[in-house]
Copies of this chain bind each other. A is one copy, B any other.
């Protein structure tokens, strides 16, 4: 059942131990689902995560200027750093619905608050799915009591499944770290598989932890984790109007309070980053028609921002992505994307390695055996290492290739 967890276990993060349980692994949380009938398949389309006591919370949201109503509501509700619940539906997004959309999102928080016994402002909300239809608030309101009834602390994979839209696989993970002698757990569920349609393939990640931590360090840790994970992935360069990452900290682990600029904070942040990175990579690997995970590491930059800019320009180039689908180590397309990234790169300083083979060396094209190279590109994982030869900074970004399937899914989908 947890076989896929092992696939995401990266032993290089020191002290982070892989455990089972997803968002149920940390102490102090229950979750439930309901079938509201929004999804035509009749599958679960509503998720409720509740902490036994008020949790410390933090959230990060889409930077798209157009934001879904739930993003506006949740952004307000995380501000005081306290939350009890996350309510999320799939099948129908809540974007471009004007004031009605806003009142639907607020109504969802009201219903959960009444049934769970907390303030509406302690409920965080998220919606994903098709847009352009009126938001089916009656269906959701009918489903919420059933989701509350199904609340349980026992692991089941329906929780991760209920937020899926075009995802082909549920995405969840959980880890344990030692913080000052006390085991602390972090679990997450996520959804996302390329931006098929604004909000349809929105990225969600809901994280639970039993760490004892206050709002300010939790916000800092989440910002760092997101910056090193979700902000480093790109499937097609489009950015959803509903992207949401939320974390609830129940404090049930009983560790000494995590404060900024301490070793505990670093350990916690690394573990949160690891969890986020696993979810981010799972989203890329489940990208629309993706056949390969491409890890692009840009080194030798004069700053991290420059390294990331070059990485994202390469990762977002349809030409680079189609080349890797075709198994073609097209360094020309890579160097071209680096050239238009906006970073002051210099041809004579750039070196490019693909799956460990140097193709371009400080401005010189290398003589590489094509058959040998194509064989090297058969595995599903592709690493592209670009050394700009200018400085010491480096950054890694992740993307998928672009296949016929990508066109098919996106051309045939109707709003």
Contacts and interface: CB of A to CB of B under 8 A. Distances in A.
Contacts of A317: 236-238
A318 interface: yes
A381 B125 CA distance: 41
Copies of this protein in the complex: 2
Nearest to A132: B365
A66 B415 contact: no
A63 interface: yes
Interface string A390-408: 0000000000001110111
Contacts of A333: 197-198, 238, 415
A407 B406 contact: yes
Of A64, A345, A348, most B-chain CB atoms within 10 Å: A64
A13 interface: no
A98 B363 contact: yes
Interface stretch (A142-150, A204-212, A321-329): A321-329
A207 to B, nearest CB: 24
A7 interface: no
A356 interface: no
A411 B319 CA distance: 8
A304 interface: no
A326 B238 contact: no
A364 B196 CA distance: 21
Interface in A192-231: 195-199
A323 B196 CA distance: 10
A85 B329 CA distance: 37
Given A236-B319, A344-B65, A407-B402, A241 B415 contact: no
B131 A318 contact: no
A306 B333 CA distance: 28
Contacts of A65: 338-340, 343-346
Contacts of A331: 132, 415
Given A238-B336, A239-B336, A333-B198, A66 B347 contact: yes
Contact of A198 (B66, B95, B332): B332
B415 A326 contact: no
Interface in A49-94: 63-66
Contacts of A12: none
A338 B336 CA distance: 26
Contacts of A413: 323, 326, 328
A41 interface: no
Given A318-B318, A337-B238, A415 B330 contact: yes
Of A195, A317, A336, A411, most B-chain CB atoms within 10 Å: A336
A336 B195 contact: yes
B96 A365 contact: yes
A297 interface: no
A197 B339 contact: no
Given A339-B66, A360-B96, A363-B96, A318 B403 contact: no
Interface string A353-381: 00000001001110000100000000000
Contacts of A403: 407, 411
B411 A325 contact: yes
Contacts of A325: 407, 411
A112 interface: no
Of A197, A318, A412, most B-chain CB atoms within 10 Å: A318
B407 A335 contact: no
A105 to B, nearest CB: 15
16 contacts: A64-B336, A65-B346, A66-B339, A96-B332, A96-B335, A197-B332, A198-B335, A237-B317, A239-B339, A318-B406, A318-B410, A319-B410, A328-B414, A329-B415, A330-B415, A407-B407
Given A197-B319, A238-B318, 6 more contacts: A65-B346, A132-B331, A323-B411, A333-B415, A402-B407, A403-B411
